[in-house]
Structure 1
Amino acid sequence: MNAQVLIDSIVRQVTVLIAQLATSGGIRAPLSHVANQVFLDLARELEEQGLSRKVSADMFGMALRAYIRKVRRLSEAETEKGRTLWQALLDFVRAEGLVTRERVLERFAADGELQVTALLHDLTESGLVFGSGSGKRAVYRVASDDELDRVAQLSDSSGADELAWVLVYREGPLAAARLGELLRRSPETTAQLIDRLVADGRVQVNADGTLSAREFVLPLGSPAGWEAAVFDHVQAMVQTICQRLQQASTDASPLPVGGSTYSFDVWPGHPLEAETKAQLAELRQRLGDLRQRVDEHNRAHGVMPTHEQVVTYVGQCILQRNSEGEADDEFAR
């Protein structure tokens, strides 16, 4: 029961974060794919942890056959086995040149009108496909490379390089195709992005063609790359909690892994207000100095082929409270 309450509470917090990200800076990011993505990612992660499909289906409250069918439907297009429906739709519209929604629905009838329509909307919202008209007579065509570049400029995608960089650093080695999937970019746009990262020395191409990065550093206050910073923060927190949970379930020698949260009640004129609010800056300075010394040693002596990467995350927020201790901040719930 405690685990269920914890999961429900975390889902609520993550929902608040997703809603904030989806509307940050006045944007309206498409969310039609989120529910299916959460289900599929959860199913895959449960399988990675060694759970059978029967157990996973039971955890979702589904019959085994219905669970398998849903996983298969979301993983690949029923009309084109082995390929995601998103990619199959994009390739079909590209091949047709100009195609009506009626023709698309007819081609992908086995996948269901609701899902195909939602993905068409997602493709147009992402700028990969242009649409005109409404209903089944609406027409679609794939954006050209020049148009994609123009869309990128208009949507202020200045943080795309940094987001790709952190994905390669944290999840690499990555194949170029996989990076394109994570970024939701066309192969051509992904190739251009990789060329920039390699030219800047941020990313390296391995002998097998995969991509790796030796470091990921964003200067404090950088005008670009906030998306990459948010991803890095969230991944560090999630990995820390997961590793701590794994330690609790084994008898292995504990690693120096964990986290602590401290709250301080201060107000204007409080004798420790300034010291309390300065903790983030002081910790940044201390950890930045430590990283510089570690980097200098590693440059001088080389990095061992097998090594540990210690990830330390520091965060600080300030919540406005009233005299009864209730939150005035709309995100503190």
Structure 2
Amino acid sequence: MAATACGTGSGPGGRADGRTERVTSLTALDYYTDTTEHAHWGELLTGCGEKAGVAVEHRSVPAPSLVPTALRQASAGTLPDLLMLDNPDLQQFARSGVLAPLRAYGVRTDGFGAGILSAGTYRGEVYGLAPTVNTLALFYDKRALAEAGVPVPRTWDELRKAARATTRPGRYGLAVDADASFEATFQFLPFLWSNGGDERRLDDPRAVEALGLWTGLVRDGSVSRSVLTWNQADVHEQFLGGRAAMMVNGPWRIPALDAAEDLDWGVVPLPVPRAGDALVTPLGGEVWTVPRNDSEARRRKAAEVLACLNGPASMLALADWHHTVPSRPDVAGRY
């Protein structure tokens, strides 16, 4: 998907030959291929581009393709002026030296939550900022659970019972993302961590028990074997289409769920192993970065746009659109 944000004016900057370089356009790459998300980000990039006096050419590629695409571009020296990365991927790019430190270009990083800021930091330098953050929850079909006579699950045992009770021909009890991708890792981590497991010790009994929860649900038919090929968008479609009574997913799905006329849905924290256990979930969210290129002027303009994307107005707009949480506590308090 691609869209061009129309900007006005131009920006001066230095060139290696001493002449003034005028920057009138920038490029941006992300993985927001969903029509609504792409439009939302296009709107923000348009507005921030106009404030910086540039047009922003906005391109989105499928999530699994983003990192391979960016790595090829880094090798060829053709990275965009603005690159969005899922926060776990930032350190790989920062370590390779292809990202510019944001503070060097006047981007303010004060006021962000400490954990959120650390996600965009490598060896003490901030290379990426996330306007908002998110995590995962359990979405459920109120009618399906009521008809099965089961409560909304709060523990793993209750989840097993509810998934089994709501499974029927044409509908599974639960949908999760279990494909070979970062999205599946993101979905499994809350179950692993909440059980005291560690992703560096997958042979630990607590990790084995967490995986056993998922595999057991597949074996008893409460979860489709097709989850091995589903991403989070597929999980959402299963739930939206009535083919799953519950799903693990994020708040960015809420606008589409609200628009579904025949679905009476609810959402609760993910179930924990045992009553009273603490729920531990990962911090989700994408960071925007400024790749290094041979134009200082382009980097400075890109930094202006990035700062705008991470400003209070943008944070609040994204939070309202996607039901995410602004990355600055003072802004989150106004949401």
Q: Shared fold by TM > 0.5?
A: no
Query: With structure 1 as the length reference, what TM-score do the two structures score?
Result: 0.24
Kindly name which structure, 1 or 2, has the bigger radius of gyration based on alpha carbons.
Answer: 1
Q: RCO greater where, 1 or 2, for CA within 8 Å and sep 6 or more? A: 2
**Higher helix share goes to which structure?**
1
Structure 2 length as normaliser, TM-score?
Answer: 0.24
